[in-house]
Structure 1
Amino acid sequence: MNIFQVIIGTEIFNSITEDKHFKFLRDELIKRGYELCASFIIKDEPNLIENNLKLIKNTPNSYLFCYGGIGATPDDFTREIAAKVFANSQMEYNKDLIEKIDEKFPGVDNSKKYPLAYWPKNAKPLWNNPINGFPGFFLDNRYFFMPGFPEMAHPMTIEALDKFFPLKNKKKRYTLLAHAKESEMLDIMNNIPKNVEFSTLPKLDYTSEISFAGNGAKEVYEWFKNELANKNIKFEECRD
């Protein structure tokens, strides 16, 4: 499962606002036993949005959490581009949202609000919006589109996670701190099996935090410690 996040908002780059979506989604996924594959923060620029969505669509077993750009103002492009990428540019009005708009604003002309309900064809709603009740939407049970406002988007994210991301066992990670530079351990690192998730974080005091996860991680972790000992490299195991 390759889970992507796209955060759309020119206002993040001109310092009008700060992103609050990355950490939220990352942590919620980890709680459920999942991890992000990549996160993109981009401007409200149609070609940039389209290229990001195409990359995600073309990635096998991809999932998307997209934040921003589904409003009705001229700088909101996400609905149309999502339709272009995921629904062959076909769009339709969501009747339930039209009714919701008319109920919320009775007796007035709501035609300028109706674009909020103009979605890619076959999109379904994410209703959990405690602020104004207007939903985001999702396609194919794996591409989720939400407003940029965290107060609206994060409850919708939880709704999507609860529906489509069943709880899994949290990935077990084994970590140690080696008292050596990365270069001193390259010959060992080059023999780590490719199927084991491996990362190394060098520190300014010339130590390296080394981590293993996934299938076979425990065995490789034990082997790595033994190899360090054979090289007389000191290390300490790190506990969660």
Structure 2
Amino acid sequence: EDKHFDFLKELLNGRGFKFAGSFTIHDDPELIASTIAYIATLPNSVLFSFGVIGSTPDDHTRLAAARALSDGKLYLNSKFEQLIIERLGERAYPHPIKMAMLPKDVTLLPNPINKMPGFAIMKRFFFMPGFPQMSHPMVEYALDNYFQGKEKQEYRYTLTALCKENNFIELMQSAPEGVEVSSLPAIYSDGWKTTISIASTIKSKAVKEFEKYKSYLEESGISYGIGEKQ
């Protein structure tokens, strides 16, 4: 699995943000642009994109981001240009300098390793190098600078029961507003197991709903365990 996913999921969950999903896609200009455009249609969506922002012919993300989120053009970013020249001097030409061609009105994300920044559009869509040593500090920078005070503490409780998920349909349908319920069934050599996860930003709601599932299982004589394994 991509090294970025576990890092991002753990970081976001730890700060009270929801990790909604991840995509691994080919270096195809149309696919990259359409994926970015789709995510941008989702209300309050935030995108962290890793890789394909260099200066080689297959680095399509800068232009794809411009097509999906801006006017479809790239412009020379003077701050990025200066950083490249300061680091590389004459070696900045003819190719490395191309990294400074960015969509308009971007914000640069500092790179603690080699000073070659990533960039953000609308402070919601973040584009970073593929190297974790460079990109992970950029993610932390983005969260620290653009999302402080927007965190929501989430309370989540999980159990795994020795039954099919059909057993929980009525309980799931009766979940109150503000409580998220998800089920994940699996079949093993010894039968069905279903993991139920209850979450809410209001602890009392999450606890109350979780107790309903425990009571149901105990009254039904169905074995279960707390957590994702049984």
TM-score computed with the length of structure 1 as normaliser: 0.82
| Residue in 2 that maps onto 1:166 | 148
Alpha-carbon distance change, 226 to 160 in structure 1, aligned in 2, over 3 angstroms: same
Alpha-carbon distance change, 229 to 91 in structure 1, aligned in 2, over 3 angstroms: same
The aligned runs of 1:44-55 (5 Å cut-off) are: 44-55=27-38
Flag the structure with higher helix content: 2
Alpha-carbon distance change, 170 to 112 in structure 1, aligned in 2, over 3 angstroms: same
Instruction: Indicate which of 70, 87, 94 corresponds to 2:77.
Output: 94
Do the aligned partners of 1:178 and 1:235 also contact (CA within 8 Å) in 2? yes
Counterpart of 2:212, as a letter, is: W
| Residue in 1 that maps onto 2:108 | 125
- Does structure 1 residue 209 correspond to structure 2 residue 195? yes
Instruction: Give the aligned CA root-mean-square deviation in angstroms.
Output: 2.2
Structure 2 runs not aligned, ≥5 long: none
- Describe the superposition over 1:168-194 as per-residue Cα deviations: whole angstroms up to 9, x where unpaired: 354111223334332333333333336
TM-score computed with the length of structure 2 as normaliser: 0.86
CA distance in 2, matches of 1:107, 1:75: 23
Instruction: Indicate which of 112, 125, 142 corresponds to 1:143.
Output: 125
Q: How many residues align?
A: 221
User: What secondary structure is seen at the aligned counterpart in 1 of 2:46?
Assistant: strand
CA distance in 2, matches of 1:42, 1:54: 14
- Describe the superposition over 1:7-28 as per-residue Cα deviations: whole angstroms up to 9, x where unpaired: xxxxxxxxxxx62111111111
Do the aligned partners of 2:172 and 2:181 also contact (CA within 8 Å) in 1? no
Question: Quick one: percent identity of the two aligned structures?
Answer: 38
| Residue in 2 that maps onto 1:222 | 211
Do the aligned partners of 2:33 and 2:68 also contact (CA within 8 Å) in 1? yes
CA distance in 1, matches of 2:225, 2:33: 47
Do the aligned partners of 1:101 and 1:110 also contact (CA within 8 Å) in 2? no
Do the aligned partners of 2:84 and 2:92 also contact (CA within 8 Å) in 1? no
Worse-matched range after superposition: 103-112 or 153-162: 103-112
Alpha-carbon distance change, 169 to 122 in structure 1, aligned in 2, over 3 angstroms: closer
| Residue in 2 that maps onto 1:15 | none
CA apart distance, 1:36:
1.3
| Residue in 2 that maps onto 1:8 | none
User: What secondary structure is seen at the aligned counterpart in 2 of 1:200?
Assistant: strand
CA apart distance, 1:115:
1.1
Alpha-carbon distance change, 232 to 97 in structure 1, aligned in 2, over 3 angstroms: same
Instruction: Indicate which of 153, 159, 167 corresponds to 1:176.
Output: 159
CA apart distance, 1:109:
6.2
CA distance in 1, matches of 2:71, 2:121: 13
Counterpart of 2:206, as a letter, is: A
CA distance in 1, matches of 2:14, 2:168: 33
Counterpart of 1:152, as a letter, is: M
| Residue in 1 that maps onto 2:139 | 157
